[in-house]
Amino acid sequence: MERITIDPVTRLEGHGKIEIFLDPDGEVANAYFQIPELRGFERFCVGRPVEEMPTLTNRICGVCPEAHHMASAKAADAVYHVDPPRAAKLLRELLYSAFYVTDHTTHFYALGGPDFIVGPDAPPAERNILGVLAKVGMEVGGQVIRARKQGHNVIEMIGGRKIHPATAVPGGMTHGITEEQRAEIEKIGRWSIEFAQFSLGIFDKVVLGNDAYKEMILSDGYTHRTYYMGLVDQNNQTNFYDGRISIVSPDGERVGTYAPAEYRDWIAEHVEPWTYLKFPYLKKVGWKGFVDGADSGVYCATPLSRLNVAEGMATPLAQAAYERFYDTLAPTPESGGKRLVHHRLATHWARLIELLYAAERMVELATDPEITSPNIRTVPTEKPTEGVGTVEAPRGTLTHHYWTDERGVLTAVNLLVGTTNNYAPMALSIKKAAQSLIHKGVVVHQGLLNRVEMAFRLYDPCFGCATHSFPGEMPLQVAIRKSDGEVLEILSQNC
C-alpha cells in the first residue's frame, strides 16, 4: 500500500496531518486525519473551585473563548442547581450572538471564502482574505474589519473584556448594560443584519452563480448521508445558547431530542489504534466504522447540521434564507419527512444563514425590555454537586460536565468540544474527496490537494481545544510514499 501525506495542513491550527493510503492499483484505500491532543486538562482543573471554570476554560483556546465561557457558566449553574434570572440569560445570549457574527464573518472571508471566491485551483499565496478582497472589492475588507471590531466591542460591553469574557458566573452575570450601551448594541445589530445579507449576496453571485462551483457543491465527492446534531428551542428552531439537543437521521427522521445532561445516554466514543483521539458516535446506532448511512452512528455537528435538525430559523430574514437554501439544494423531503442537505460544501452557505440569524437575534435581544434589568444574578444557595452545560459553538455542539465536592471544589471534568464531534465525518469527507480526485495515473497537483483540504476545512475545525502548535504561515508538504516508507515524490507549497 502506498501512502500520501499532507503535512501540515494549510490554514489549520495545530499539527493536523492527513494520511492517504493507496492500494496497489494507486486508488485511495483509506484516509486518516491525525491530530496531536493536549494533555492533562482534567488534572489541571481538579482541585479548583468550580466558579473559576468560566474564566479558566476560556483560556483553552484563543479561537472560541466565548463558547467555553458560556458552556462553563451553564455547567456551573447546574452544579449549584441555580437558574439565572431571565435578564442574565438574555445578556449571555446577546454576547454570544455578537461572537457568532465575528466568528462566522472571519471564517467566510478569511478561510472558507478563499476556496470558492478565489478558487480551488488558485495559487496558495492568493487563497487568503486578500485574494477574496481582490475579487469582491477592497472596500469589503473595511466592512469585515468593522464587523469584527463592533462584535468585539459588544463582547467587551457585556463580557468585560474584548477577547476573554469574564462576567458569566454561577447564577447569572456580574454586571449588566446601560441604556446607552443597549442602544449602541442595537445599532450594531442592525448594521450586522445588512452586512450578513450583503455576504449572502456575495455567496449567491460568486458561488451559486458559477456552474462549476455549484456542480462541485452537489458532487458526490462532497456528499455524505450521516446523522445530524444541533441545539433547538421549544419550536425546534435553531438556537446557539440554549435548548435541547436534536438528532435527525440521514433519512430525515427525527430520532429524538435530549437534555444536555443526558448526553452520555446518546454519545459514546470510539478508539482507533492509529490515534489517541476518540471518535464520538451515536450510542443507539453503534459504531460501524468510517462509513455513512442510517446504520452508522457517525454524526455531524456543524452549521449545516444545525439547519438540518431544525424546523426553521427563529428570525424572519434567516427563515427566508433557510427556505431558499432547502428549495435550492433539497427540494424533495427524505423518506422520513424532512428536507435535508447532505452536500457538505453547502456548510459555507449554512454558516452565512447562521450569521444572518445571529445578527437578527442581536437586535431581538437588544430590544427586549428586560435586557437592561439590574436583576441579573440569583445567588446560589444549594449544595453543589454535578452539572452539565451545553451551547452550540460555531464549529459544533460544546458540552462541559463538572463534578464537585460539597464545597464546590472540582473532583472531575469532562469536555466534549465542538470539533471533536466531527472527527469521524472529517475522515469520511477526506477519504471521499480523495477517492474522487486521486486515481492511478493522475498527477497530484496543488489544486487537487486543496480540494481534499476543502473537504475538512468546511467543518471549520479547531484544534486549539485539542491541540496546539507553532504553525506560523503553514507550509503544505505532500510526501508520496510506498508502503515501506520510501518517498516517491515530495510536493509542497508555502515552503
Partner 1 sequence: MADQIASRTSSDGVSSGSPRPRTIVVGLGNPVLGDDGVGWRVADEVELRLSDAREAGREIPAVVVERLGVGGLQLMEFLTGYEEAILVDAVDFPGRPLGEVRVCSLDELDPYAAGHLDSAHDASLRTALALGHRLGARLPDRIQTVTVQAIRTDEFSEDLSPEIEAAVPAAATAVFELILG
**What gap in Å lies between CA 169 and CA 50, rounded to an integer?**
10
Nearer to partner 1, 283 or 468 (CB): 468
Instruction: Give the C-alpha separation, 357 to 51, whole Å.
Output: 31
289 makes contact with partner 1 (CB under 8 A): no
**Cβ(29)–Cβ(473) under 8 Å?**
no
Residue 63 makes contact with partner 1 by CB under 8 A = yes
| Piece of the chain touching partner 1 by CB under 8 A; list 55-63, 180-188, 241-249, 482-490 | 55-63
Left if phi > 0, otherwise alpha if psi is -120 to 50, otherwise beta: which for 135? alpha
By CB under 8 A, tell whether 106 contacts partner 1: yes
Stretch that binds partner 1, among 90-98, 122-130, 285-293, 384-392 (CB under 8 A): 122-130
Q: How many CB atoms lie under 10 A from the CB of residue 130?
A: 14
Among 24, 26, 47, 142, binds partner 1 (CB under 8 A): 142
Residue 205 has a CB neighbour count (10 Å cut-off) of 12
Grid cell digits, residue 233:
428551542
Tell whether omega for the bond before 8 is within 30 degrees of 0, i.e. cis. yes
Q: How far apart are CB 293 and partner 1 at their closest, in Å? A: 30
- Which burial class, exposed, middle or buried, applies to 339 when counting CB atoms under 10 A from its CB (0-12, 13-18, 19+)? middle
Nearer to partner 1, 127 or 182 (CB): 127
Using CB under 8 A, pick the residue from 49, 52, 135, 141 that binds partner 1: 141
Name the minimum Å distance from CB 63 to partner 1.
Answer: 5
Using CB under 8 A as the binding rule, whether residue 244 contacts partner 1 is answered as: no
Q: For the segment 439-478, give every residue that binds partner 1 (CB under 8 A).
A: 460-464, 467-475
- Single out the residue of 81, 148, 175, 225 in contact with partner 1 (rule: CB under 8 A): 148
The continuous run of DSSP H or E covering 97 comes out as: helix 86-106
Dist. CA 376–CA 107, nearest whole Å: 32
Nearest in space to 41 (alpha carbons), one of 465, 476, 490: 465
Residue from 2, 6, 14, 176 that binds partner 1 (CB under 8 A)? 14
The reply to whether 68 sits near partner 1 by the rule CB under 8 A is: no
Is there a contact between 395 and 148 (Cβ–Cβ < 8 Å)? no
Q: Interface with partner 1 by CB under 8 A: which residues?
A: 11-14, 36-41, 43-44, 56, 59-60, 62-63, 103, 106-107, 110-111, 128-130, 133, 138-139, 141-142, 145-146, 148-149, 152, 162-164, 460-464, 467-475, 494-495
